[in-house]
Structure 1
Amino acid sequence: MLSNNINLRKIGVMFLIFTLVFTGLGVSSGMPVSYAASSEVFVSSGGDDTNGDGTVGKPYATLSKAYSQISDGGTGTIYLLDNITQTTKNGEALKLNLDKRVTITTAPGVNTVTIKRGEPSGTNALDTHFDLTKGELTLKNIIIDSNFNNQKINGRIVNVFGGSQLIIEEGAVLRGSNSGFSGSVIHVDNTGSVVVMKGGEIRGNNSTGAAVLVDNGSQFIMTGGLITDNIGGGVSFRSTPGGMLLLSGDARITGNTNSSGKALNVNMANYKNLILDGVFTGEAGITTQSILPGTQFGQATDAGLGSVENLIADSGSILASYDANKNLVWRAFKNDLSKPSADGEVMGKKPTLTGVTEPLAKVTIKIVSEADQSIVVSKEVTADGNGDWVLPVDMVLSTGAYTISVTANKNKTQSGTVTRQFEVSSDVYVSSGGSDTTGDGTRNNPYATLYKGYQEVVDGGTIYVMDNIALSVTADKKYLHLDQNKSVTISTDPNAVDTAVIQRGSGKDAASGESGDIDTPIRLEKGQLTLENIIIDAKLGEDFYRGRIINVYNDSKLIIEEGAILRNSSSSFGGTAIYLKGTAPQKAVIEMRGGEITGNKHSTSEHSAVLIVDNADFIMSGGKITDNSGGGVELSTNTNTRLVLSGTAQITGNSGLNKPERNVILQGNTLLTLNDDFTGEAGITAHNRMAVGANFGVAARAGLQGLGNLFADNGHLLASYAEGNNNLVWRSFKNELTQPSTNGETTGTKPTLKGVTEPFAKVTIKIVSAADPTFVITEERTADANGNWEFPVDKALSTGAYTVNVTASINNNQSETVTRQFEVVDKTALQGKYDEITAENLVETEY
Structure 2
Amino acid sequence: MWLILMSVSFSPGAFAQKREIKTLDELLEVLRPMAYQTKSDSVGIVGDVLIAEDGISVDRSIPVAVKASLKGGPLYRAADYEGAILDIGPDGDLTLANTIDGKNVPASQTIVIEAGGRLELADGAKIVNVMKAKRADYVISNSGSFEMTSADAVVNVADAYLEQLDIISRDVFNAEGAKSSLYKGTIGGRLLNYGDLSLYGGFDIRDIWIKATHMLISGGVNDGQAASQVASITIESRLQQDINISSFSPLIVASGFRHGDIIAKGGANYRLTANDADHLLVSGSWEKRVMDNTIVLIDPEQETGGVISNERDLQTAINNAKEGGTKPTELVISESGFDLTGSITIPKGKRILLTGGTIKRAAEQERFCMFIVDGGFLTLRDITLDGNRQSYDYPQSSSIVWVHNSGYLEMGEGAVLRNNTDGSDTTDKIGTVNVWDGTFVMNGGTIRDNYGFHSIIEIGQEGEFRMVDGLITANAGGGIIYNMGNLNLYGGRIIENTNVRNALIINGNGNPEMNTGRLHMCNDMVINNPKCTIGGIVSYTNDFILEGNAFILEDKITLHNDAYIMLQSQLSQFDAGGLRISHQCDANFQLANGQVVAQGGKYSEDILSKITYEGEFQLAADESKIYLSNGGATTGIRTRAELQAAINEAATGSLSEPTELRIAVAGMDMDQMVTIKGKHIKLTGNGVRYLNVVEDVNNRMFSVEDGGSLTIESAFLEGLAGSSKYCTFVYVSSGSSLSLKNVTMKGALSDLQNWSMLRVYGNCTLSNCTITNNNGKAMIFVGSTGQCRIEGGKITGNSCSDSKTTSTLIYNLGALDYVSGEFTNNHAISISSNGTTVLRSPRIKNYLSTLIQDEGSAIWVYSRLDLYGTASVGDAFYLGKSGSNYGCLYLHGALKNTVELVCHDVRDGWVAVQGADYALTSSDLNKITLAKALAEEYKLVKEENKFVLRSLKGKTYNVKTEKCENGMITADKATAAEGEDITVTVTPASGYKLYAEQLRYNRVWPLQPTNKTNVFTFKMPARDVSISAEFIPDDVTVSPVDTTGFTPDDVTPGTGIGNLDSLIIILGGGGVKPEASPVPEEDLPGNLADEVGDATDNGDEYVGSLEELIGILSPGSSDAQSVYVLPVKVAIVFYLPKTLTKADGLRASTEEKYYILNECEGTVTRIVPEYDADAHALFFKTDRMGVFTVMRGGGSSTPNERISSGVVKAVAGNDQLLLYNLPVGETYRIYDIAGRLVDMGVGNGSIVRVELPEAGVYLIKWKQESLKVMMR
What TM-score results when the alignment is normalised by the length of structure 2?
0.29
What is the TM-score when the length of structure 1 is the normalising length? 0.40
* Structure with more contact order per residue of length (Cα contacts < 8 Å, sep ≥ 6): 1
User: Larger Rg: 1 or 2?
Assistant: 1
